[in-house]
Structures are given as structure tokens and as C-alpha cells.
Structure 1
Amino acid sequence: MRRSLSLIADPMIAVLVLATILAALVPAEGESRVFAQAIANGAIFLLFLVNGMRIARGEIARALANWRFFVPLGAWVFGVMPLAGLGLSQIASQVLPPLVALGFLFCGTLPSTVQSATSYTSLAGGNTALSVIGAALINIAGVFVTAPLFALLAGSEAAEIGTETILRIGAILLLPFAIGQAVQKRTIGWLAARKAEVAWLDRVVIGIAVYVAFSGAVEQGLGAMFGAADWALLIALVAGFLAFATGGAWLAGGALGLARADRIAFLFAGAQKSVAIGAPLAAILFAPEVAGFVIAPLLLYHLFQLLIAAPLANRLARG
């Protein structure tokens, strides 16, 4: 019970709420936003450097060998979920601001979260080792797949990926990850002994990226654009998206004939979405005045997935 409560009270919820409130009250505007964006880019570089240092290449190789689990998982995360996000974005565009509606597609193209997917798989009695490797592999693929997949499906100027954007992705995401992989033999043990500090690095970097993104949205009048009915509709659409992801991933695992422990790992790795990839990537793909609108569905999705994951894991643990 104590472990369940600790998972429900995930500090990431507090970080997201604090960053959003801070952006609403004291947004980074003008020259201060340029400075804040530079800090965010440096923090994102550091985060992906550490990610490269801590994900062992041997784990990636072992994951690739389990094709019966990982091929369907990749197809679900980067096939079914983006198409569902595309459908929801088209529905939402009829009643919500276009950039907010586009956020459903962006959310759908993102990989799953590593830390919470693994924790809830363990709590539910699933295959934890498979979850660790699977979520890590999907996250690595997401660094390469999400941006071009989003651009392909969005088909609008907002999603165009030109040379400048490609260079920024390479410099801020891929380069530090590659450096981390190159030096990981000397760092992986040191980082493994400091999991709590690494977890807080994740949270702080995400908080900075969310603050910068929402500062731009506040400056563009996000509050004035959204009434109570708009928020209610957005919340309902996000909840429906999460329900589809969770129920669909569970049914897909059953249709594949996975053992129950593997099916649980497939559920959490397939249904959850990573704000750790989404917030930094949005900061690179979109201008600050745009990013806050686009990540709104993702932030709600992440909040909701944390709220339902522990009760769901407890229910699965009871059989």
C-alpha cells in the first residue's frame, strides 16, 4: 500500500503544476524568454547526455532479439497511437484552437515513459526486465522517429522540418546521446548509484521546458482563448485518448498471445507517453509562442496516466 501511494504521489505531477502556474504568473517574455530558452536547450542537452550514459548497449541488443514483443510494441506506439492521435486532432480542430488540436497528434507520436512504465509493471506483477528494456528501446527509437513521423502525418507548415530544425535536433538530442553512449563504460556504474539524483534531473529539465513553452502560450493569450467549456472538452478528449491507449494495448497483448507478465509490460509501455521526450522535443520543433499550445494535451495525458496507473497496477496484481 505504501508503495502504491508513493507512485500516485509522483513528484512529476508537482513539477508540471508548478511550472505551469509559474508560467501563468511570471512568464518569460521578450529578452528573458530568449535567455530562458537558452537555459532550456542546455538542460535538454545535459538530460540526453545522461540518458546516453545510463542505457547500456547490451540491453539494447538483447531487446532487439525479442522481436515477438518489440515489433508489435513498436507498431502500436509508432503506428496505431499516432493514427489515433491524428483522428482526435481532426475532431478537436472543429472546436479547439488548431495548435491545441495538433497536440493530440504530437502526443500520439511520442514514445512511452521509462521510469513509471517500469515501476507500474513491477507493481502489477509484470515482466519488469522486459519493461525496462522495452521502454528504453522505444525511447531511443522515439528520438529518431517522432519528429519525422509527426511531420509526415501533420502535413502542415507547423510541422515542417527544415535543415535548421534537423541540425537543432542533432545538436541538442542526438549528439549528447551519442557522446553518452561512447563514454558510458566509465559512467554507467556511477549513475546507477545515483538514481534519485538522475530522476530529479529528468524532472527539473522537463519543468524548465514546460515553463518556457507555457510562457509563450500565455503571452499569446492562452487564458483568454479557453473558457470552462473548452477545458472540459479538452479534458474529455484526453481522457478518451488514454482510455483507448490503455484498453487497446491490453487487448493487443491478449491478441498476440503474450504471457500475462509480458502482457502487463506491453500495457504500460504501450499506453504511457513520455513528457521527458515530448517537452524537450516541442521546445526544439516549435517556436516558444507555439510550443505551449501543442503540449497542452500531452501534459494532461501525462497527469491522467499517473493518476490511473497505480490503481490499475493494483488491480492487475490481484489477478
Structure 2
Amino acid sequence: MSRIPLDPYILALLATLVVATVLPARGRFADGASVATTLAIGLLFFLYGARISPGEAWAGARHWRLHALVLSSTFVLFPLLGLAARVLQPAVLTPELYQGLLFLCVVPSTVQSSIAFTSMAGGNVPAAIFSASFSNVAGVLLTPVLAGVVLAGTGAVSFSAGSVLEIVAQLLLPFAAGQALRPWLGGWMGRHKRVLTLVDRGSILLVVYTAFSAGVVAGVWQRTSPGRLLALLGVLAALLLVVLLATAGAARLLGFTRPDRITAIFCGSKKSMATGLPMAAVLFSPQTVGLVLLPLMLFHQLQLLVCAELARRWAAGGPAIREDAR
């Protein structure tokens, strides 16, 4: 059990789901929670912008082939695999769960865990900092656009002038403001990391509670059986396996060193729940966003379990990418 990363934050997320199911926000309380969620999303992206250091990121920017592989995996391979999974609907996945799978596939890579696992396994840490950071910066713009493309036929996301302005106001402007103010805020944020982590995670818990409350009130859970959820887990495990093998094989074909192969795998195979959840709250209707979030939340925990074990093995001297990718 000591090897399994049972993050207390995941337990907090599960507890939030239970509270939202038993005591969903209704009426005027739901209206207040919605306003608070909007403000929390703006704060999150402001902190993301202020936290990402351009100097640290650019230190690993020279390995352009590695970064191109990571971005291709994150924003090309994942969406293509998501579109290919359309054959699973509706026999395996409900329309809402499939929409969530598609959204998962256009979310950027994680920052903290990608860098942490890369460091633990002996990978190229400066390159991981750049790839993960740039993925999130690019994702602020690319994720809403790709979501509009891959979800165009589902009716879940519709882009209009109003929705574009909402995305700019809630995501892009706070992020840009954070980047602009980073020279003055960077030192203070470095001294108060624990407080900022609590703000980050508390804001995301609020997003989850509001989203799942709306789903409960709309009755979406009555349309999802335990069998469907097990099937979703199987689909997510297969998705992660395919991406891990694909990034491993591509890194070997490109002749990357062991540290660079490790970086490509960890940065190219993960998806950011911290960035994805607030984006989903902006892009999807309150009635559907609860189930749309579920694939991303499950995939997040699955990637932590698998990548933690891979990092542990490679740190102990195991083959960086077993010649299993052949």
C-alpha cells in the first residue's frame, strides 16, 4: 500500500462528490455557488499565470524535437484516439461519458506530477519543466478550440461570440494578468506555496461540488449504471496504455537518450485535472458538466498510480522504456 499514491486530495474529491450527491446546491444557494465558482476559476487561472516562470521554462526549450513529441501526443494523438472511441457509443459509453472522454483528450498535460515523476526516474527535468509549462500555456487557448472541434457533432459545446468572450474573460485574461504581475508576485508566491495550494485545491473542490450538484438536480446520475462506470475505467486504462506505448516507441525511433525518453513519456501521457476541471465548468452546461468531468477525474488517479510505479522502477535501475515498445 505504501507504493500506491492515495492522495488525500483525491479522497477530498470523492468526499465532495458524496456531499454533492446527498446535499446538492439548489435554488438561491446554487446561484450563489455558481457566482463563487466563476470567481474561483478566474483566481485559479490568475495563479497559474503568476506561477509559471518563463525563465525556468525556457531553460529546457532547446530540445525542440522532444517538445514537439509531447505537444503532438497531448493535442493530436489523444484527440484522435478520442474520436476513434466514437464506436464505443452508446453500447459501452453513454453520450455524456463519451463527451467527457473527448474533453479529457484535449486537456493539457500536468505540470507538478510530470516534473516530479521525471525527476524521480532520472529524466531531463529542465525539458520537463518547459514541456509541461508550455503545454498548459498553449492549452489555455488550444483546449477550448479543440473542444469545439472534437465535440462539434455532440451538441455539448457550441461556440458563439458570447461563449468566446466568456472564455477570454474567465480564462485568458486572468492568466495574462498573472503573467504580467509575476515579477512582483513571484517572490511572495514562493514564500506562501502551502497557502496557494490550499486556494488551488479549495477552488477546484468548489468547481466539482457546483458541477456535480447541477448534475444531481438534473437527474443525470439515473442514466449511468455501475456497469457503465466499470466500462469507462477499462476504456481509460486502454487509452493510457496506448499513449504510453506510442510515446515510448516514438522516443526510441527519434533516437532520444534515456532521460529524454523518460521526459517524453511522463509529459506526453498525462492530463491536468487542475486545468481541465475549471475549463469544463466554463465550456459545458450545468446540466451535463458533472458527468463530463468524471472521465478526467478517473484518468487523473489512474495516471498517478501507473506513472508512480513506472518512476519507482526506473529510479531503481529498470529499463527506461522496456523494449516492450518494440
TM-score, length of structure 2 as denominator length: 0.91
- 8 Å contact from structure 1 (residues 89, 104) kept in 2: no
1:226 aligns with 2:227: no
- 8 Å contact from structure 2 (residues 63, 127) kept in 1: no
Cα shift readout 1:167-198 (whole Å, capped 9, x = no counterpart): 11111111111111111111112212222222
> What are the residue-to-residue correspondences of 1:210-225 with 2, within 5 Å?
210-225=208-223
1:178 aligns with 2:185: no
- 8 Å contact from structure 1 (residues 242, 305) kept in 2: yes
Amino acid across the alignment from 2:225? G
1:109 aligns with 2:106: yes
Report the secondary structure of 1:159's partner residue. coil
CA distance in structure 2 between the aligned counterparts of 1:245 and 1:72, rounded to whole angstroms: 12
Cα shift readout 1:125-172 (whole Å, capped 9, x = no counterpart): 112222122101101100100111121122233222111111111111
Cα shift readout 1:46-66 (whole Å, capped 9, x = no counterpart): 111111112123345445543
Aligned mate of 2:282, from 281, 284, 305: 284
Q: Counterpart of 1:196?
A: 194
Aligned mate of 2:50, from 33, 53, 57: 53
> What are the residue-to-residue correspondences of 1:235-246 with 2, within 5 Å?
235-246=233-244
Greater CA drift, 51-60 or 13-22: 51-60
> What are the residue-to-residue correspondences of 1:124-139 with 2, within 5 Å?
124-139=121-136
> Structure 1's 89 and 30: CA in aligned 2 closer, same or farther, altered over 3 A?
farther
1:29 aligns with 2:26: yes
Shift of 1:42: 0.7
Amino acid across the alignment from 1:82? P
Cα shift readout 1:24-81 (whole Å, capped 9, x = no counterpart): 1111123322211111111111111111112123345445543121112111110011
Amino acid across the alignment from 2:100? G
- 8 Å contact from structure 2 (residues 33, 210) kept in 1: yes
Report the secondary structure of 2:288's partner residue. helix
Report the secondary structure of 1:80's partner residue. helix
Q: Counterpart of 1:140?
A: 137
Shift of 1:304: 1.0
Shift of 1:11: 2.9
CA distance in structure 1 between the aligned counterparts of 2:243 and 2:9, rounded to whole angstroms: 21
Counting matched residue pairs gives 316
- 8 Å contact from structure 1 (residues 90, 101) kept in 2: no
- 8 Å contact from structure 2 (residues 271, 300) kept in 1: yes
Q: Counterpart of 1:73?
A: 70
Report the secondary structure of 1:113's partner residue. coil
Cα shift readout 1:228-254 (whole Å, capped 9, x = no counterpart): 222221111111112222222222222
TM-score, length of structure 1 as denominator length: 0.93
CA distance in structure 2 between the aligned counterparts of 1:92 and 1:317, rounded to whole angstroms: 40
- 8 Å contact from structure 2 (residues 58, 130) kept in 1: no
Report the secondary structure of 2:221's partner residue. helix
Greater CA drift, 37-46 or 9-18: 9-18
- 8 Å contact from structure 1 (residues 89, 105) kept in 2: no
> Structure 1's 75 and 226: CA in aligned 2 closer, same or farther, altered over 3 A?
same
Greater CA drift, 103-112 or 192-201: 192-201
Greater CA drift, 21-30 or 247-256: 247-256
Q: Counterpart of 1:20?
A: 17
Report the secondary structure of 2:156's partner residue. helix
1:266 aligns with 2:264: yes
- 8 Å contact from structure 2 (residues 59, 126) kept in 1: no
CA distance in structure 2 between the aligned counterparts of 1:137 and 1:39, rounded to whole angstroms: 28
> Structure 1's 259 and 293: CA in aligned 2 closer, same or farther, altered over 3 A?
same
Q: Counterpart of 1:298?
A: 296
Report the secondary structure of 1:289's partner residue. coil
Report the secondary structure of 2:24's partner residue. coil
| Unmatched tracts of structure 1, length 5 or more | none
